[in-house]
Amino acid sequence: MALREQLSEYRCGDTLHEGFFCYDDSFPGPQPLVLISHDWSGRGEFAEKKAHRLAYHGYAAFALDMYGKGKRGKTPEENQALMMPLMQDRSLLAKRINAALAHVRTLPQVDPRRIAAMGFCFGGLCVLDLARSGADVRGVVSFHGLLKPNGLAPAPKINARILILHGYDDPMATPDHLLAFAKEMTAAGADWQAHVYGHTVHAFTNPEANMPEHGIKHSPIAESRSWTAMKHFFDEVFG
């Protein structure tokens, strides 16, 4: 294994962004790539560790940056201040994640025809909005993501296959939200599926999540099951 990693700048309009690119150059030829969309704190160690794991499985991985170079939150208040402008302007959110997609297509190590995306919490919503935009990606995976519709005009076609990995007791995306999302995707003719984990709340993939009074807690079992489901999904969509 010959792991390579680098920071990679790109732009969306006037905003400079910086992603984290990781791949194993012992695999021959251009590789399928997985975009990784971070949680509300910004691109950091959690997303970069996921990039390393994906590289181990033979994928190139790019932990994208939704906020702008160097913008990361350290407290819930800072995280909220970074996230809310994009939650309130979902068209800008879609432009930013599509800018990351356009950038990775130019990387020589990447097969531009085989790209998928995954995201966590806020990042789960981001990759779902990537799919909603009609982007030409093979699939998207949302881990304990927010499911709120974007209120924008629907794309003529949702090209990406969609996998939702979700805690049934997540207070930030309730069973009613999941049902509404299922109806939205079915009406759009999307290829979608959901794996729902019982007795599981928000942020179940994050070992540092430990606020059960707020419905936020790590679940090793759900984390393991969801990662396995994701690998099977990528095997399917990449062929």
150 or 29, greater pLDDT: 150
The model's confidence at residue 28, banded by pLDDT at 50, 70 and 90, is confident
Share of the chain above pLDDT 90, in %: 95
The structure's pTM equals: 0.97
Model pLDDT for residues 59-103, shown as the tens digit of each residue: 999 999 999 999 999 999 999 999 999 999 999 999 999 999 999
Domain that holds residue 66: 3-238
Across the beta sheet with 60-63, the strand order is 3-12, 15-24, 60-63, 31-37, 110-120, 139-143, 161-167, 192-197
CATH of the domain at 229: 3.40.50.1820
Q: What is the mean pLDDT of residues 147-173?
A: 96
Q: Percent of the chain beyond pLDDT 70?
A: 100
pLDDT of residue 236: 97
Average pLDDT over residues 13-23: 97
Cβ-count burial 95-112 (b if 16+ within 10 Å, e if not):
ebbbbbbebbeebebbee
Residue 27 predicted with pLDDT over 90: no
Judge whether residue 1 has pLDDT over 90: no
Number of domains the chain contains: 1
Average pLDDT, the chain: 96
| 34 within 8 A of 59, measured Cβ to Cβ | yes
